[in-house]
């Protein structure tokens, strides 16, 4: 949406925050690193915050790190949970201590014209039904921050209609749950060998999508395929921006 683009750019002064979300391996940290370089070049002050309690290293400066509050490694060691269970526990702990942990940071660490980028975890359930991020978004708004969401998907996996629909549904789930100005981005376009396979889904209509889905699935799915395709097409619920770091102006085009 136009409002999402405006918030991503931070064109006007004010307190802005951007949630960088998407499945594991979708390129969230790379996006943050590229954004850090871009903002440095245009002399826009930005702060980066890690909200992944399982993160290990960063290619960009981190001003705020959730691991200072809780880490997946500590949860696994103390509670004997698996990686996914430990992550969900860590985010629930984050939700419970949200106000106390952020209170001092937000009142003393950031000014009225700051732009804050949150690099978020890659587990989809955190954006679909676990309430931690929904409450976090509300907290930011209560503190006077304008918030938008950038949802990343690996373009290498959006190469056939079934995968495209799957990607649309994950994006839509986050959009509905968080209720934020929202932009969906296809990353790693520079790694896609046949870009036409991806580009055809950037401007596909319901009839084309339904035909392609029906060709791959059984007859009992015909009505379901038609309903999903019409949802994506007629209501413009989900659209994607192809981000190619090999193209000099690609990131700038996204921010513009």
pLDDT top residue among 187 and 236: 187
Quick one: pLDDT at residue 221? 93
* pLDDT single digits (tens) 26-73: 999 999 999 999 988 888 888 999 999 999 889 999 988 999 999 999
Query: According to the model, what pLDDT value does residue 106 have?
Result: 65
**Max avg pLDDT among 78-87, 95-104, 205-214:** 78-87
Question: What does the pLDDT read at residue 49?
Answer: 93
Q: What is the pLDDT of residues 140-174, one digit of tens each?
A: 998 888 999 999 999 987 888 888 888 888 888 88
Centroid of chain to Cα 8: 12
| Residue range 212-225: mean pLDDT, rounded | 91
DSSP per-residue letters across 45-92: -EEEEE--TT----SS--SEEGGGT--HHHHHHHH---HHHHHHHHHH
Q: Are 49 and 118 in contact (CB under 8 A)?
A: yes
Residue among 187, 52, 69, 58 at smallest CA distance from 126: 52
Q: What is the per-residue pLDDT for 6? A: 46
Scanning the structure block, which residue is given the tokens 């136009």?
2
pLDDT digits (tens, 9 = 90+) for 118-135: 999 988 888 878 889 999
Task: Write down the pTM of the prediction.
Answer: 0.88
- Give the tokens for residue 1: 């949406």
């Amino acid at each position: 949406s136009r409002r999402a683009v405006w918030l991503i750019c931070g064109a006007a002064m004010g307190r802005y925050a951007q949630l960088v979300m998407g499945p594991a391996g979708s390129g969230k940290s790379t996006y943050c690193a590229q954004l850090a370089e871009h903002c440095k070049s245009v002399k826009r002050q930005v702060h980066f915050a890690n909200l992944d309690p399982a993160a290990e290293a960063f290619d960009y400066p981190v001003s705020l790190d959730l691991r200072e509050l809780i880490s997946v490694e500590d949860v696994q060691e103390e509670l004997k949970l698996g990686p996914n269970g430990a992550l969900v526990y860590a985010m629930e702990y984050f939700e419970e201590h949200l106000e106390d942990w952020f209170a001092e940071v937000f009142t003393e660490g950031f000014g009225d014209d700051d732009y804050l980028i949150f690099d978020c975890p890659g587990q989809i359930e955190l954006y679909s039904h676990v309430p931690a991020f929904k409450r976090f978004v509300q907290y930011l708004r209560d503190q006077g921050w304008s918030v938008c969401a950038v949802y990343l998907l690996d373009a290498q996996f959006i190469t056939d209609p079934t995968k495209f629909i799957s990607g649309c549904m994950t994006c839509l789930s986050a959009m509905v749950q968080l209720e934020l100005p929202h932009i969906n981005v296809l990353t790693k376009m520079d790694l896609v060998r046949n870009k036409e396979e991806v580009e055809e889904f950037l401007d596909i209509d319901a009839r084309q999508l339904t035909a392609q889905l029906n060709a791959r699935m059984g007859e009992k799915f015909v009505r379901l395929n038609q309903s999903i395709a019409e949802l994506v097409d007629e209501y413009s619920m989900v659209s994607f921006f192809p981000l190619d770091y090999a193209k000099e102006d690609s990131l700038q085009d996204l921010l513009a």
